[in-house]
Structure formats: structure tokens, C-alpha cells
Chains A and B, each alone.
Chain A
Amino acid sequence: MSEFTEPYESKWQAFLLLLPTFIVLIAFLYYPGLETFRLSLSQTILLGSQKVFVGLENYVTLATSSEYHSSFAISVAFAAVVVIGTLAVSLFVSYLLFEVDVGSSTYLIAAIWPYALPTAVAASVLLFLLHPSLGIITYYLEQLTGTSLDWFTNGPQAFAVVAVVAIWKQLGYNIIFMVAALNNIPETLTESAEIDGVGHLKMLYRVYIPLMSPTLVFLVVMDTIYAFFSTFPLVDLMTSGGPSGATNLLIFKLYRDAFEFSSLGLASAESVVLFAIVAILMYVQLRLSESYAHYGG
């Protein structure tokens, strides 16, 4: 940034312009964020009317709770499935969008619309279409595979169904970024590889994916955060965490502990764990994007 772009000197004006943003960020983000840490060291008694300091007891509870362990493991597995599934499908569609000769802008809108799909809408629609006894998709899947599907009682099936819905909703966002990344690849590179007769799949793995890697890293981070933080409506509307805890994601358990069981201290400790997850992911993203910056990306 050059000197020319800072024509105003008044520090008071700058302060006033920043003030509204600061008030909101301090009041509704930093203050409650810090309070979470403090609350995580306390327990509420007498129906929430009194707080007592209990040190690290809530964290010990989490560390020794088999329910929390399983919720944590399920969330990590869920994130892995959602990230891999979303990236794989999005890469396939994006590559086709990149290769198509005519109509690419029409196809693009038809492929990115799930970006506007609210999570609760995705959950409601597929809850019905995949309903074990009423769902038309379930019906044809059963006809096709000769198996009987009942994800209302089968844990792994419920996990898979929720993951599929989570992936569906996230496709639009990923395709937007992947198509942009593919279109940024220098055309000369594509052309010279084509003259050398390099096949399509090989091009994808050897040339495009490496060149897209900053975007792919960004998407891995964003999709992971999405899988941990934005999937609450799916669990809430489709499975309520069941059957027998198979879809009890951390975000859903946090909601229940806080607002159904009023264990505010324990829930705050769970929030701190979620904070640690998002902090680690952001740090990874920052570090990797710095290392890519050296290549002029």
C-alpha cells in the first residue's frame, strides 16, 4: 500500500468509523468468547441460579466420558467423510465444467445452486425422500440392491444418510472455488500438455490437482469447519443424534448439554474444545497459504 492511499489524518475520525464494528465484536464475540473459558471452569447449581468454581472438573468429565469420546470420534469420522465426499464429487463436476465447450455458464448455475440451499431445507427434503418406509429414493435403492434399508434403527446407515445430505448441501460452495481455480490455470500449460498427448485423467492428477492445491487446502479447512459447526440442523431434524448415538455430533451434544440438561459449565468446556478445533484448522490454513504465497499463488 502506498503513502498516497492514506489521505486522512484524523485519528478521531478513524476511531469513530471503527467504533460500531468494535462495539459489536467486543460485546457479542470477544466478551462471550472469553466468558466461555471462565464458565468452563464452573458449575451451575440450584437450577442455574448459582455458579461455583470447580477448576478443571468439567474437562476431566469430558476426558473420562465415554459418551463424549464417542461423540468426538463420530464427529472426526463425519468430517473426514464429508470432506472427502464433497471434494471428490465437486472435483468431478468442476472438471467437466472446465472441459465443456458450450453452455458452461448455464451449467455453472445449475451446479452451484446448492450454495443457496439452507441446511434445514436439505434435511427436511431428504428426511422424506430417504424415509425408511415412505421414501421414494429408499424404495428404489432397496429394489436395486435387494437389501432392506432402515436408517432409523441402523447406526452406520444413519451416519451415511446424514453425511450424504451434508455433502449435497456443500457441493455448490466447493464447485464455485474449484472452477475458479481451474480457470486460473495458464492456458499455455494446458495446450502444451495436450500437444504432448497427455490423457485426461493424467492431466487431472499430474497437472490440475497440484496447481489447484492452494484452493484444495482452503476447501479442506472450510469443509471441515462446516462439518463440525454447521451440521446441527441435519442432526436435529433427521436423527436427534441417534440411533444409539451414531450421529451424536459434538455440536448436537453441546446443544443438548447446554439447553436441554442445563449443564452450562460442561457445555462451555465443550465449546472450548470446538474453539481448539477451529483454531488449529485456521492455523493450518494460514501456514499453508503462506507457503504457497512464495510461488506467487
Chain B
Amino acid sequence: MKHSQTTWQLDSFGNYASIAAALVWFGWAQGRARCGGQNKMAQVVVLGAGIAGHTAASYLRTWLDKTHEVVVVSPQSNYNWVPSNIWLGLGLMTEEQVAFPLAPVYSKAGIRFEQARAVAIHPEGSAGSPAPYVVVERKTPERGVERISIPYDYLINATGPKLNFEATEGLGPGKHTVSVCTPDHAAEAAKEFLALVGRMKKGDRCRFVVGTGHGQCTCQGAAFEYVVNLEFELRQHGVRDKAEVIFLTNEYELGDFGMDGAFIRRNGYITPTNIFTESVLAERDIWSITRAHVRKIEKGRVFYENLEGEEHELTFDMAMLLPPFAGVGLQAFDRAGEEITAKLFAPNGFMKVDADYAQKPYEQWKAADWPRTYQCPTYPNIFAAGIAFAPPHPISRPHTSPKGTPIFATAPRTGMPSATIGRVVARSIADKVTGKKAPLHAASMAELGAACVASSGSSLLKGTAASMTVFPIVPDYERYPKYGRDLKYTTGEIGLAGHWIKVILHYMFLYKARLHLGWRAIPE
């Protein structure tokens, strides 16, 4: 009896242990199931650590458990909050205030970081192995420049643009103009600006030309913000009367901003953005030249062609002209080593995704032409996010000069839409990795809004800002027949409040990008 009791106790203990073990296993299995039964380790490679790439990698790391690897490949060691380069470019901020090193952030988050430049994609693997991989080029002090292969299960191309300064002779830092596209460029611009302020304080007169350095540029919003800031700073330095400020742009009308302009509800009127923008410039005595394709730049002289085909030139003491964008020049190869770049990329180097790329006239463009999932049609495990995807066509009406030069603003894809696309692509991949049977997530620019705050000054009481919201970015004339956009959400106004928002956004988005506590609560 005693023996049997002992046995029972032992058995009972054994049973309890078995039940406990089963429960632990069941809990673990449930946890795994919730994570999608992530038994097979997946490797997601993100090319680029800009706004889209960094957002995608950060969310992937949150949504995938640690059995999966998230790898970020970027030639830059720092994350740069690009919108604040405007302030850096006038000496109002330092490089450290607009950028931070990525390695410690990724190390803490559990993301593998390769500081390297992506060179080629092999979506079918090689003759020896069907596993797809990317070839990257990295520089180490020990080995110099070396090429390595990084295999992937899913790939996000978020390389951003190549700053195509070569498209215009004499354009860019190290040549005859400055830029604010990177912290280095912006710091150089600030140096040049402050040197000219010094000269003006001694009585010199100077001319500043700000705008776009080619007929096919985008990012007019950034150039507009820079010119407004520059004018504000000239007043702050007490030298405004010594300066001429000219806004030189490829837009057909001021306020086009690469999105075919917009109509905004403002002070009881529905006002086109060209009236709004023209007013902002007029108030500050900033002159403008529109419909200009900058052809060549020499020291202190810019040569441009206008839409009538006339050739003109303009002298300057400082010119901040943005370059056109192109793809970064990634190549693609099939299993046999044959080049298939044209299959994956449009001729401008941006990646083809689920857009309608059929050539059609402006009148037939539709909101539905724009991509929704950013998945590569030929290789479903490849996605493109942010500037890296090829738009189906511009948003603004195309114009060509009698000489055949295209002069119009190309489609913007920076900032808010880039981050949203990055998050949505990450969500789709996370679902696929975890085995969730769900359709791909979507974020069409014809269903995305954008907020743009062009602020001047960086202190809290002295600046003002032109704040604009548009919805959607790509006008949808089927849904909103008259204006192409929802006027409830397409607004614009000028004031100190917008300036506060810009300052807050600067700190908030850098906090989010550093992946500090609660970063996911901050919207893109």
C-alpha cells in the first residue's frame, strides 16, 4: 500500500511534470503560432537606411521574432533626417542635430547592419544555388574594397535616389553650386552662405539663386523651403537690402511641387497653390523664374533654357540648385549570370513594381496607375519602398520645349509617403514570413496624404511657416471630379503654429528613428 502510494506519488509527480511540460510546450507552440509558426529562419535584407528603409527595418524587427534576421545594407553610417538639412544649410543647426550613427541603434534593436553599397541583385541565385542574394561592396581598413554576397528570403529596395548632379554640367558641390541633399552638402552650403553674409555686412551686394538644377527635377518643396529660410536669415543678419533672391524652378507654375499643384481651402476661398506660393514669395520680395531647364553652370553663372526654347543666363554669388534624381544603378542578373536589369528596373534606374507602366497621354492618367503593394511583378519576394520605386508617370502635366527638352516637375516620393510605404511593405513581408494568409498591405500614393511644412527660422517665436496638407498626393479625378483632391484635407496656411509643428516634427521623428521607448506610437 505504502509502496503503491509512493508509486502513485511518483507517478503523480511524473504526471504533473508531464502535464507541466506539455503546457510549457503548448504555450511555446502557441507563441510560435502567433508569430506564425516561424520555424524556418528567414532573412530579410533592406537596401538603404533612409526614411523608407529605416522605417521598414525597424518595423520588421518588431514584427518578426529573433529567429529571423533583418539586415540593413547602407553605404552611409548615419541616419539623416533630411527635412532638417534646410536648417543645417543656413548654419541654424549642426550635422549632429540632423543625423546620428546607425550602428548603435541597430545593435540595440537586433538588426544586422552592413555599411556597404549594394551593387547587384541575383533574384534567381547562381548556377550552384537557387538561393537569391545581393552583392554589396564594402570598404574595410584591412582588406580595402571587397564584394560580398548576402543571401535573402525577402528583399526591400529602399536605396533612395542617386543625386544625379552629372545630368547638368557644372552642377553640385565641388563644382559651382551647393546643395542640401546630404548633411555634408548642407554644411558646405551654410559655410558659403555665412561667408556671403560677412561680405554683405561689409557693403557688398550679392545674388542668391535657389531652385532646381535641371528640367526634370523633383523636390521643389525643399527648394522653396530653403529660399524662404534663406530670405528670413538675410533679414535676421540685417543684410536683406543687400541681396537679390531668385527662385529658379522647372515647375510650369509656382506651387506645382511635382504634384500638378493643388487647390486648397483657405480663408473662405478655394485657392490654387500657385497663388498661395506666389504670395509667399511676393511678401518676401523673392523673384521667380519658372519653366526653366538648367543646362550648364559656370562659376557664378547659370545657363538655362525655358519652355519657349529660349536660352538665357543669370549671374549669381551663391546658387543652391537641387539635382535630378535617378536610380542608384543597381544591376540584376539571372541564374546563368545574364543581365536582367531591364526586367527589374525602369530606364531611369528605379525599380518596377505593381504599377501600370503603359505609356499613355496625360489625359488618360489615372490614380489606379499608381502602385499599391510595391511588390516586384517578376520576383514576388522583392519590394521597393520610398524613392526607389519607379512611378508609372509624373503627376504634373509634362511639357517639352520646341527644342525637345522636357521641362516639368517629376513626382515627389519623399518624407511622409516614403515612411508609410516602408511600414506597409514591412507589414506585407512580416505576414509572409509568419505564414499569415493575408493579402499584401497597400499604400497607394493616390490614397495617401502628405503634410508639408515649409518653415523659416528655427527658434520658437521668430519663424513662420507655410503649412500644407494634401489628400491624396496623386489627384484622383474619379473620386474627386472637380479638384482631384479632398478639399476637407487639402489646406494651407501661414503662421507661427506651422513653425512650431516643424520644430516638434524634427525632434519627434529623430526620437522615433532612434527607436526610443514608444517610437511606434509616433505616426509616420
A complexed with B? no
